[in-house]
């Protein structure tokens, strides 16, 4: 008998467990998504099938299958599986589990220790795993929704491989929902649900790549649906709206409507139509679009279509993104609305966009000359001896705070990328550039 519960041991009667738990995949063949990691021939798939496990960090959004994948790995490799929550456990609990795992290894049993939300462990708690990971007492599988580069200590990262999981696509989520509808043992086939493909797709869109959320919505809808004379549960749009607690709008049909709406928002901002920008923003938010996606696109608009004509535009959009992070929805909807209207009414310039496009073309299409010696920093004596920094002119020592020192590579001398317009603040920048150019012209004469 194992010291630890195995993945196959249920912790509640089947009928009482949530649909998302009952439908949890038990094999790699049932697992949906993550083909970049688990398709036949991929390194992680091969390691699992060859039973050549190593410690790893699974990084991905909620509902992407981190816990499920860890459970399958333990079952496939016939390992003891211990699930650990970083929210509930401390160093004492860690050491108790590690001691049991060490004993288990002496009897030829391997322990897969799954640490949910590993980013919530502090440095001391994460340090407690290190000797056991190094000795091979455990195979550590950590799950996190946060970037492990910032949240997991370097010593642990160096001993574990990071695998990045993606949110499920709409099609992958629909596949899971259909599987639940057809499954009489673990799913809801006995409830005889009747639901259109379009409504299944809408549930998948609203789940935003989270399989657990999609299952929960479907289960709620089936429970709420009135039964007909034959005991079937026909699910209509109103039932699904009640289940997700919001009105459904046409959105993301094969991905096209998603791009149509963000295009409409962007072009309305570019055309300085504040009313249209507000409307398309509202359409996206009310249809369930990820507010952080909208915030990212607003930041892009601030740089692409406004730029230095109104330098505050980027700051406003960054503040809106932070409001989404800090407050969440629906409270942050007005912050996004404020940013959209601000961008629409700001002076417009694509000078930065055009200039950077020319920079990219030159960077890719011209010889990548080395940095001129006078622009290099002589960090060591050797560098100074070979000429690093020789000829550098310190602008602050010059009367006009300007020098005629060239700063572009020789093959790009006199190249102009940034051409400001007469819009907003850029008019002042244009005057400044013209004055600098006139000063340099006089110096050259």
Report the alpha-carbon distance of residue 397 to residue 379 in Å, rounded.
Answer: 21
Who's near 117: CB < 8 A, 6+ residues apart? Answer: 85, 86, 87, 143, 144, 145
Report the alpha-carbon distance of residue 63 to residue 168 in Å, rounded.
Answer: 8
Q: What is the pLDDT of residue 254?
A: 43
Q: How many beta carbons lie within 10 A of that of residue 266, not counting itself?
A: 19
Q: What is the pLDDT of residue 335?
A: 95
Under 8 Å between Cβ of 10 and 17 = yes
Bridge partners, residue 116, by sequence: 85
Q: Which helix (H) or strand (E) holds 164?
A: strand 161-164
Who's near 223: CB < 8 A, 6+ residues apart? Answer: none
Q: What is the pLDDT of residue 1?
A: 36
Under 8 Å between Cβ of 313 and 346 = yes
Q: What is the pLDDT of residue 4?
A: 43
What's the half-sphere exposure (Cβ side, CA atoms, 13 Å) at 48?
A: 23
Coil/strand/helix, residue 83 = strand
- For the chain, domains (ranges, CATH) are 14-164 (3.40.50.300), 170-244 (1.10.8.60), 253-345 (1.20.272.10), 373-444 (1.10.3710.10)
The candidate with the shortest Cα–Cα distance to 240, out of 210, 208, 204, 212, is 204
Tokens representing 309?
A: 């004509």
Report the alpha-carbon distance of residue 353 to residue 341 in Å, rounded.
Answer: 21
Q: What is the pLDDT of residue 302?
A: 96
Q: How many beta carbons lie within 10 A of that of residue 47, not counting itself?
A: 16
Coil/strand/helix, residue 163 = strand
Report the alpha-carbon distance of residue 175 to residue 201 in Å, rounded.
Answer: 10
Report the alpha-carbon distance of residue 294 to residue 277 in Å, rounded.
Answer: 12
Q: What is the mean pLDDT of each run of 10 residues along the chain (445 residues)?
A: 42 68 87 87 86 86 87 85 71 73 73 84 81 80 86 86 88 91 90 89 83 89 87 86 65 62 92 93 86 93 94 95 88 94 94 92 84 88 87 89 88 87 90 88 82
DSSP 142: E
Q: How many beta carbons lie within 10 A of that of residue 346, not counting itself?
A: 23
Q: What is the pLDDT of residue 52?
A: 81
Report the alpha-carbon distance of residue 443 to residue 441 in Å, rounded.
Answer: 5
Coil/strand/helix, residue 139 = strand
The candidate with the shortest Cα–Cα distance to 42, out of 69, 7, 80, is 69
Q: What is the pLDDT of residue 260?
A: 85
Report the alpha-carbon distance of residue 19 to residue 215 in Å, rounded.
Answer: 6
What b/e sequence results for 229-251 when a residue is b if at least 16 CB atoms lie within 10 Å of its CB, and e otherwise?
A: eeeebebeeebbeebbeeebeeb
Report the alpha-carbon distance of residue 213 to residue 128 in Å, rounded.
Answer: 34
Under 8 Å between Cβ of 362 and 415 = yes
What b/e sequence results for 380-414 when a residue is b if at least 16 CB atoms lie within 10 Å of its CB, and e otherwise?
A: eeeeeeeebeeebeeeeeeeeeebeeeeebeeeee
Torsion angle defined by CA atoms of residues 92, 98, 99 and 101, in that order, rounded to the nearest 10 degrees? 150
What are the E-state strand segments in 38-149?
Answer: 56-59, 80-85, 111-116, 138-144
pTM of the model: 0.53
């Amino acid at each position: 008998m194992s010291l630890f519960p195995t993945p196959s041991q249920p912790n509640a009667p089947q009928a009482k467990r949530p649909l998302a738990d009952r439908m949890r995949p038990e094999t790699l063949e049932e697992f949906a998504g993550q083909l970049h990691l688990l398709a036949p021939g991929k390194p992680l798939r091969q390691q699992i099938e060859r039973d050549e496990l190593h410690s790893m960090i699974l990084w991905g959004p909620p509902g992407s299958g981190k816990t499920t994948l860890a459970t399958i790995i333990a079952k496939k490799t016939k390992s003891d599986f211990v699930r650990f929550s970083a929210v509930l456990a401390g160093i004492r609990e860690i050491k108790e589990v590690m001691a049991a795992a060490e004993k288990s290894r002496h009897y030829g049993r391997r322990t897969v220790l799954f640490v949910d939300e590993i980013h919530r462990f502090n440095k001391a708690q994460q340090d407690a795993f290190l000797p056991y990971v190094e000795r091979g007492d455990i195979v550590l599988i950590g799950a996190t929704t946060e970037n492990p580069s910032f949240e997991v200590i370097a010593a642990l990262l160096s001993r574990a491989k990071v695998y990045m999981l993606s949110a499920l696509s709409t099609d992958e989520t629909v596949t899971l929902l259909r599987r639940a509808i057809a499954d009489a043992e673990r799913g809801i086939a006995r409830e005889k649900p009747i639901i259109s493909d379009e409504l299944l797709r809408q549930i998948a869109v609203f789940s935003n790549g989270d399989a657990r959320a999609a299952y929960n919505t479907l289960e709620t809808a089936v429970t709420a649906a009135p039964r007909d004379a034959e005991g079937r549960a026909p699910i209509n749009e109103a039932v699904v709206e009640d289940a997700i607690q919001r009105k459904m709008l046409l959105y993301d049909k094969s991905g096209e409507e998603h791009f149509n709406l963000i295009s409409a928002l962007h072009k309305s901002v570019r055309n300085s139509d504040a009313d249209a920008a507000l409307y398309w923003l509202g359409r996206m938010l009310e249809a369930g679009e990820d507010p952080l996606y909208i915030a990212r696109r607003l930041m892009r608009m601030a740089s692409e279509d406004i730029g230095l004509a109104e330098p505050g535009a980027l700051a406003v959009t960054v503040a809106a993104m932070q409001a989404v992070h800090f407050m969440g929805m629906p409270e942050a909807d007005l912050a996004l609305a404020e940013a959209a209207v601000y961008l629409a009414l700001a002076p417009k310039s694509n000078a930065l966009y055009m200039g950077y496009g020319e920079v990219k073309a030159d960077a890719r299409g011209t010889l990548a000359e080395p940095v001129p010696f006078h622009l290099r920093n002589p960090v060591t004596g050797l560098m100074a001896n070979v000429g690093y920094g020789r000829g550098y002119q310190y602008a602050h020592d010059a009367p006009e705070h300007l020098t005629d020192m060239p700063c572009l590579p020789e093959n790009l001398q006199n190249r102009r990328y940034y051409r400001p317009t007469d819009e907003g603040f850029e008019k002042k920048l244009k005057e400044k550039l013209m004055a600098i150019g006139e000063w340099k012209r006089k110096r050259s004469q």
